[in-house]
Amino acid sequence: MCSGYRRLRVRGDVRMVLRVRWLAVAVAVVLAVAGCSWSRSRPRQSLPYYCTPGPVEVGSPPPVKQECTQEAYEKDQQRLELEKKALIIHADFNREYQRWVWAGGSLTLPTNMEGYLADPMKGQIQRILANQKQEGRTVEGPEPRMTQRVIPNPNIDGSEVALLACTDGRGSVMHTREGENYAGRVNVTTRLLKRYPDGMMRLFHGNGDWRDSCPFE
């Protein structure tokens, strides 16, 4: 009797231990799920956003980033991306343009330059290259070094980005058909760009003058 009772009691104790263990596991699972859901629903702590003020005048100190709202930050990133794209487009255009100038000009606008340009600048560049070809002007010496900056107040004639480009042609010489020689100088030009209905950004305006030095020096 006693031994049988003890066996039953041992079995009962085992069942009790198993129940306690299952209960502990169930509680742990519930707490883990609750913890995960709480961590998912807990709002993230918003990080501070910093915006870069628009471009400054040439010669002014570089702009310092300032704390701003998320909306202002997103607009600022869009502006910076647009300016970066404009700088690349102008650099690519200038490389092709200088290559054709050093080749002696062209009677028609080269097809590899058409994608960078829109009127009135497109017609202007075409006339410059055609006149050079017709008049037999040639250039020798190192190709000019071009530097560029984004300038403020881009909304000029509908432009989205305005650039100031400095092309340093010192060291090169232009020869005319009549035997005259002209030393290369520094050309400082304002370039305007905007996006067109096809989504492409193009140069549509440019005017400049000759100077003795680059304003970026």
Strands 145-150 and 201-211: unpaired
Architecture field, domain 51-211: Roll (3.10)
pTM exceeds 0.85, yes or no: no
Can you give the pLDDT at residue 13?
A: 52
Domain ranges within the chain, ordered by starting residue: 51-211
3-state secondary structure of 179: coil
Q: What is the pLDDT of residues 198-212, one digit of tens each?
A: 999 999 999 999 998
Q: State the chain's mean pLDDT as an integer.
A: 82
pLDDT at 182 (0 to 100): 94
Helices (H), the chain: 2-41, 70-102, 111-114, 121-135
The per-residue pLDDT for 21 is 52
Two tokens, residue 85:
């794209």
Sequence-ordered list of residues with C-beta below 8 angstroms from that of 42, at least 6 positions apart, any chain: none
pLDDT(108) > 50: yes
